Amino acid sequence: MSVSANTETPLVEVRDLVKHFAPGGGLIARRNAGAVRAVDGISFAIGRGETLGLVGESGCGKSTTARLLMRLLDATSGQILFEGQDITRLKGPPLKAIRRQAQMIFQDPYSSLNPRKTVGSVIGEPFAIHGLHRDRGERRREVQGLMEMVGLNPEHFNRYPHEFSGGQRQRIGVARAVALRPKLLIADEPVSALDVSIQAQVLNLLRNLQRSLGLTVVLIAHDLSVVRHMCDRVAVMYLGKIVEIGPNEPLYDSPSHPYTGALLSAVPLPDPSLHGRPRRLLGGDPPSPANPPPGCSFHTRCPKAQERCSEQEPELTERGPGWTSACHFPLSEAERAAMGVGGVGGVAA
Ligand code: SF4
């Protein structure tokens, strides 16, 4: 095995990934009228040990992207490379082997746990599926080690999910997800169903595990403030496309795309002295992904839209090292200040 080659390869590379759903819910192989363009040609790479935030309003395609990465959905077209191997059409044992390397944490800790199983068997389920730690005592020790790792009392091994709080249930989901020591962890809105007071605890747990286990993480959220302190890079999605992607600092300090600016402007600030900052809240709902507007898909809601925007789709254009956005008329510093976002005169989440 060539070590040097492996260190060069991103853990995950997504190339022009497309997922269209037929109006009736079935899969279609090509674009046609009425197809729901849930994911519409996105490309990005995730380095080993990196945390990428995937952000956008509900329905923008981020959860579909997660399910495509996990191969819980088949792509309409495009490629997903995992350690350089195209997994887009894998089946059978090779797919099972990849699934061991990629695990997911779901949004709702209430519905993602089987209420009839004890916590011990929920967390130990991946071992059963993959034929690991078959000895009862050994499996119990492994599971209790995982419970301790995520901050649960190992003595509660035989309790049922309903005996735990929301935050504890999400910890159970995290323990199950890291049981097989995956390389990739996808967390789909892991804290949005939790009380605000609990959210930071679960995010801190994820960050600590990411560091101690060397995980590569995709963190999905509708709120840019949730991913700020956890992610190295952020990708902002709108109507099935990535409209801005880049390292944390430039993206939060000087967002280039008006949609990123609007998401940041909407973030509530805990510091009362900043409550008077200007804000530009986004009006209306995103258009239907079954009938996206021509040109820039954001033009129906964009305060900066001009004629060109409805005619010509903007391409992702470099704004700085590793940072691109798709906009004909990127935000200026004065516009960022007027929205209350960014560096000088504005506030990053
Ligand atoms: Fe707004 Fe035009 Fe930029 Fe689209 S291309 S985000 S409509 S300014």
Q: What is the CATH number of the domain that holds 218?
A: 3.40.50.300
Domain annotation covers residue 260 = yes
Domain that holds residue 192: 12-101+182-339
Return the beta strands (E) in the chain as ranges: 12-21, 36-46, 51-55, 77-82, 85-86, 102-105, 184-188, 216-221, 233-238, 241-247, 317-320, 323-325
Domain annotation covers residue 306 = yes
And the tokens for 161?
């999910």
* Distance (Å) from CA 322 to ligand 1 centroid: 21
> Confidence class of residue 270 from pLDDT cuts 50, 70 and 90?
low
Query: What average pLDDT score do residues 208-228 get?
Result: 92
Average pLDDT, the chain: 89
Domain annotation covers residue 129 = no
Domain annotation covers residue 145 = no
Number of domains, the chain:
1
pLDDT tops 70 at residue 273: no
Q: Find out whether 306 and 328 touch, Cβ atoms under 8 Å.
A: yes
What is residue 285's predicted lDDT score, i.e. its pLDDT? Answer: 82
Q: How far apart are CA 82 and CA 98, in angstroms?
A: 8
pLDDT tops 70 at residue 97: yes
Domain annotation covers residue 164 = no
DSSP structural state of residue 268: -
Domain annotation covers residue 93 = yes
What is residue 146's predicted lDDT score, i.e. its pLDDT? Answer: 97
Query: What average pLDDT score do residues 134-151 get?
Result: 95
Domain annotation covers residue 301 = yes
> Confidence class of residue 122 from pLDDT cuts 50, 70 and 90?
very high
Q: Which of 104-108, 172-176, 245-249 has the lowest mean pLDDT?
A: 104-108
Share above pLDDT 90 across residues of the chain, in percent, rounded to a whole number:
69
What is residue 277's predicted lDDT score, i.e. its pLDDT? Answer: 67
Nearest ligand 1 atom to alpha carbon 329: 8
For ligand 1, atom 3, the nearest C-alpha belongs to 327
Cβ(305) to ligand 1 under 6 A? yes
Cβ(313) to ligand 1 under 6 A? no
Q: How far is CA 114 from CA 121, 122, 124, 142, in A?
A: 10, 7, 13, 20
> Confidence class of residue 197 from pLDDT cuts 50, 70 and 90?
confident
Taking alpha carbons only, the member of 126, 119, 134, 133 closest to residue 99 is 126
Cβ(127) to ligand 1 under 6 A? no
Cβ(38) to ligand 1 under 6 A? no
pLDDT tops 90 at residue 5: no
Other beta carbons less than 10 A from residue 120's beta carbon: 19
> Confidence class of residue 177 from pLDDT cuts 50, 70 and 90?
very high
Domain annotation covers residue 289 = yes
Cα angle 265, 49, 166 (rounded to 5 degrees) comes to 60
Share above pLDDT 70 across residues of the chain, in percent, rounded to a whole number:
89
Q: Which of 5-19, 137-151, 333-347 has the lowest mean pLDDT?
A: 333-347
Q: How far is CA 147 from CA 53, 126, 153, in A?
A: 26, 14, 6
Query: What average pLDDT score do residues 139-145 get?
Result: 96
**Length of the chain (residues):** 349
Rounded to 5 degrees, what are φ and ψ at 121? -75, -30
> Confidence class of residue 30 from pLDDT cuts 50, 70 and 90?
very low
